[in-house]
Structure 1
Amino acid sequence: MAGKSKYIPVNTLAKEFDKGIAVGKYPITDLRLPREAENSHRHDYHFFILQEKGTSHFEIDFEKHQIKEPSVIYIAPNQVHRILKAENIKFYLLAINNENLHSEYLKLLQEISPTKPLPVSSKHLSIISQAFLLCINLFEEKESKLYLSSLKDSCNTLISLFVSQYLDKSKQVDTISRFYLITKAFKLALEKNFTRDKRPADYAQKLNISVPYLNECVKNTTGFPVTYHIQQRVILEAKRLLYHSDKSVKEIAAELGYEDYAYFSRLFNKSTGMTALTFRNKNHD
């Protein structure tokens, strides 16, 4: 593993993809897994994968997934991930930065994140693979006068197919229900403010609603109360920092907005079943 530092390393697109888009189709056998894919890493771009064949084992933000069926996989910027194992898989992938993403799709991706790998039907597999092939063909037409605009348009069409799959499979069928809209607004606010705001009242105030009503909306939609989501977001970031930096637990607690180091340590232990140092040592073995 690379040496640790005082910050979480972020991989950027290679220089040859200076337009902010990379797209391709690849086979991987058990013996050909790229080294960079095996080590936990994160990106500053969006990663879309269509696994067409084979079996893969992913770890995304420290949660393991075995993928046997044709599936779509979306990995958001900064999510820690790696491929644990790949058994004769064939897959398409698209890497794209924020600047090339349609603003509407970017907002939807922020709302549905974090996501899990999602199986797709044979019908949608065919549609998405065809969209990938179009993107790949346009990606290779670098001399075209409308190269970037046509590539962006085709890639955003592909992204819309990914987003549609996640929205179709979402338990939130009634997208116009007030509970659902408030939960979405809460999650967006949480992502921006979790290091500073730790109380349900902080988010109820931002949304101009009462704490009981916010809890009712979030619990009805997700099955968990507001406090649970706040704590889980903090713990996820703590895990990322423990894995990727050499900051002390006390420094991490302070970065995440906890002046009371002992309280943060108890919270981490209660949420994960182990101390922060045990988590760090376990995942660095």
Structure 2
Amino acid sequence: MLKKRTSIPVHTMADSFGAGIAIGKASVEDMPAFDTAMQSHRDDYHIFFLQEKGTTTGEIDFQQFKIEHSAVVYVHPNQVHRLIAFENVTLSFWAISNEDLHPEYMKLLEEITPAKPLALEKEIFSVISEAVSLCIKISERNHEKLYHALLKDSCNTLVGLVASQYLAQVKSADTLSRFDVMTKAFKAILERNFITVKKPAEYGQTLHISSSYLNECVKNTTGYPVTHHIQQRIILEAKRLLCYSDKSVKEIASELGYDDYPYFSRLFTKVTAMTPLTFRNKNLN
């Protein structure tokens, strides 16, 4: 009998690597070691993959991707993901816990989430690849007196290099308009509060602006009103729970802050054009 999944499977840093930082290199021959990564799950750490060659197919939050070039992939702890297939792949990977991640880099990673696989130009790929090689060498020198500090600093430098490449794809702070700034602040607050805060006016109050002005900022920047973003974030979490846990619709509604689960079901149906159970049956993992 299959074990009942009471919630989304989570791979912990302790179980996966036994330490707060891990880094290594793998080739297609080593991929059986990644069997657990081919089941949909969350990690309780930040993980990065640097593909040197080959083809990788994966999925992050219901979006499939295929990499056929030199690229980097970042997965945030909140995201449900899995690896689907490999072909002649050589890649490096590194994982780092919240405790070992530089606070400034953690903030930057929050800003670029959700991040898509990022193709790298030859020059920056070479720089990051060399940094990875150095980090791997440092990770092997566990006899050093300052081993953990050296590994932590070198891996954080690696995280910073990757984050800077993602940030290069978006507007710099110097070019952000007032609308952009308020939208960015709203999205950050939404990510932390979507379960408990459902009304646009409450987000406006937190940001010390009117709900109408917040709506103007968000709609001008994204093309969609505040309510749309609130609903989309709630529905994303609902989709994760429907597909990757065995919780009932009523349990999921309650977990997402809805005591009136028929209302939640109607909201889900309105946003996705299918009922929660239809979505679950269609996307059984």
TM-score of the superposition, structure 2-length normalised?
0.93
Alignment partner, residue 74 of structure 1: 74
What letter corresponds to residue 211 of structure 1 in structure 2? S
Identity level (%): 58
Name the counterpart of 1:277: 277
1:140 is matched with: 140
Contact 2:59 2:81 survives alignment (8 Å): yes
Q: Please give the secondary structure, in 1, of the residue aligned with 2:42.
A: coil
Q: 1:90 to 1:35 in 2, by over 3 A?
A: same
Tell me which moved more, 20-29 or 141-150.
20-29
Map 1:1-285; keep pairs closer than 5 Å: 3-14=3-14, 17-28=17-28, 32=32, 34-171=34-171, 174-284=174-284
One-letter code aligned to 1:201: A
Contact 1:46 1:97 in 2 (8 A): yes
What's the CA shift for 1:222? 2.6
CA distance in 1 between partners of 2:99 and 2:66 (Å): 32
Contact 2:41 2:80 in 1 (8 A): yes
Name which of structure 1's ranges 156-165 and 240-249 shifts more when overlaid on structure 2. 240-249
Q: SS at 2:13's partner residue?
A: coil
Question: Residue 104 of structure 1 aligns to which amino acid in structure 2?
Answer: E
Q: Which amino acid aligns with 1:66?
A: K
| 144-153 or 248-257: bigger deviation | 248-257
Number of equivalenced pairs: 285
Residue 121 of structure 1 and its aligned partner are, at CA, apart by 0.8
For structure 1, the residue ranges without an aligned partner over 5 or more in a row are: none
SS of the residue corresponding to residue 145 of structure 1 reads: coil
Contact 2:9 2:40 in 1 (8 A): no
For residues 99-143 of structure 1, give each alpha carbon's deviation from its aligned partner in whole angstroms, at most 9, with x where no partner exists.
111110011111221111111111111111111111111111110
Deviation at 1:154, TM superposition (A): 0.6
Name the CA shift for 1:156/1:129 in 2 (closer, same or farther; >3 Å).
Answer: same
Quick one: distance in 2 between partners of 1:228 and 1:42?
Answer: 25
Aligned letter for 2:131? A
Q: Tell me if the contact between 1:101 and 1:156 (Cα under 8 Å) persists in the aligned partners.
A: yes
- Which stretch has the larger CA shift, 20-29 or 254-263? 254-263
CA distance in 2 between partners of 1:272 and 1:2 (Å): 29
Task: State the shift of 1:9 in Å.
Answer: 2.6
User: Normalising by the residue count of structure 1, what TM-score does the alignment of the two structures yield?
Assistant: 0.93
The 4+ residue runs of structure 1 with deviation greater than 4 A are 29-33, 171-176
Counterpart Cα distance in 2 of 1:23 and 1:163: 17
For residue 171 of structure 1, report the CA deviation from its aligned partner.
4.7
Q: What is the identity, as a one-letter code, of the residue corresponding to 1:236?
A: L
